């Protein structure tokens, strides 16, 4: 039964790392567009606000995925150190 859990957690870890990579790419793109619309001026303030909301979305996905990655890292390290 434990082998089955390890397999599923491995798949979850791979998916979470993929989510982190995709969120990083989208964050770079949304940060670029937010800066672009901010530099143009007040005529594009709606696009600037929309880009900032997209940036906040990307940061939320990154925080969630990094939390999972760090949890799994420290949990696995703890289990390795606990073994005699």
Q: What is the pLDDT of residues 15-72, one digit of tens each?
A: 999 999 999 999 999 999 888 888 887 777 788 889 899 999 999 999 999 999 999 9
> Is residue 80 within 8 Å of 72, Cβ to Cβ?
no
Q: What is the pTM of this model?
A: 0.82
Q: Tell me the two tokens of residue 23.
A: 């969120």
> Is residue 17 within 8 Å of 45, Cβ to Cβ?
no
Structural domain span for residue 58: 2-82
74/84: higher pLDDT: 74
> Is residue 69 within 8 Å of 15, Cβ to Cβ?
no
Residue 6: predicted pLDDT: 84
Residue 2: predicted pLDDT: 76
Residue 46: predicted pLDDT: 84
H-helix or E-strand spanning residue 33: helix 2-40
Q: How far is CA 52 from CA 29, 58, 76, 78, in A?
A: 11, 10, 36, 38
Q: How many domains does the chain have?
A: 1
């Amino acid at each position: 039964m434990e082998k089955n859990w390890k397999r599923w957690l491995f798949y979850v870890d791979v998916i979470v790392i993929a989510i982190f990579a995709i969120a990083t790419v989208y964050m770079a793109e949304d940060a670029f567009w937010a800066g672009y619309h901010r530099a143009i001026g007040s005529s594009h303030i709606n696009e600037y606000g929309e880009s900032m909301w997209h940036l906040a979305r990307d940061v939320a996905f990154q925080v969630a995925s990094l939390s999972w990655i760090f949890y799994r890292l420290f949990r696995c390290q703890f289990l390795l150190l606990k073994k005699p």
